[in-house]
Amino acid sequence: MLKEAAIAKLRAEENAKVVSRRASTRPRFQRVKVSILGRYMLENKSEYPCQIISMSPGDADVIAPVPGQIGERVIGYVDHIGRIEGSITNIIDGGFEMDIAASPRKRDKMANQLTWLANKDELNLPEDRRHERVVPDERHAKLVLQDGRKYTCKIIDFSLSGVAIEMHVRPAIGTPCTIGRMRARVVRHFHNGVALEFTTMQQMVSVVQQNLRIN
């Protein structure tokens, strides 16, 4: 037992050295303060909710219930940003810092998204200025959670990327679900309902409206 603990400690120290070497050679990016919800998965496949409080196209500060180990690989699914992956570089109070592995094209896209997120409150921009919000003709829909529970809900409005609905229950942030024939997940709570983000960006408002209707 002691031998296994010693081996684990040596591995952790080696991982920390590798991460330190990577950190000293990777390009630096300017971070912006944000407040973005999401989920992350550690190497053992365990998943937890999280909040990004500071982020750049190359790294992020993550508030997380389980911080993992320095050097451990982590995959995140972050609102507005999408999938990110990298390694834990430091343990902070309440979470961890991670680097982000991405192509130059994805980093450019991430930089644009972060710029919008960092400025939308200050400039009083709409929640999703990229896509017009539409109130559907038929506002009643059926929401089905991953565990099979079904609820009738009322659509407030929708866009090509998500939908806001009125309902008497509030599934946890990150909960996968289906509304009508659209796959989505819960990304935000408000006083009388929840906001859902579609798992796939849609191309036509008419198609979204048709697929949101009760089957």
Same domain, 101 and 151: no
Residue 57 pLDDT > 50: yes
Same domain, 73 and 6: yes
Q: Establish if 135 belongs to a structural domain.
A: no
- In this predicted structure, what is the pLDDT of residue 214? 64
Residue 127 pLDDT > 70: no
Same domain, 107 and 11: yes
Go through 116-155 and write b for each residue having 16 or more CB atoms within 10 A of its CB, e for each that does not: ebeebeeeeeeebeebeebebeeeebbbebeeeeebebeb
Q: What CA–CA distance (Å, rounded) separates 147 from 214?
A: 19
Q: What is the pLDDT of residues 33-56, one digit of tens each?
A: 888 888 999 999 999 999 999 999
Last residue of a domain, one of 56, 86, 119: 119
Q: Establish if 199 belongs to a structural domain.
A: yes
Same domain, 162 and 101: no
Range of the domain at 90: 2-119
Domain of 89: which CATH number? Answer: 2.40.10.220
Same domain, 64 and 113: yes
Same domain, 12 and 67: yes
Q: What CA–CA distance (Å, rounded) separates 108 from 115?
A: 11
Q: Establish if 130 belongs to a structural domain.
A: no
Same domain, 146 and 111: no
Residue 180 pLDDT > 70: yes
Same domain, 66 and 169: no
Same domain, 94 and 153: no
Residue 60 pLDDT > 60: yes
In three-state secondary structure terms, 22 is helix
Number of folded domains in the chain? 2
Same domain, 9 and 56: yes
Q: Establish if 50 belongs to a structural domain.
A: yes
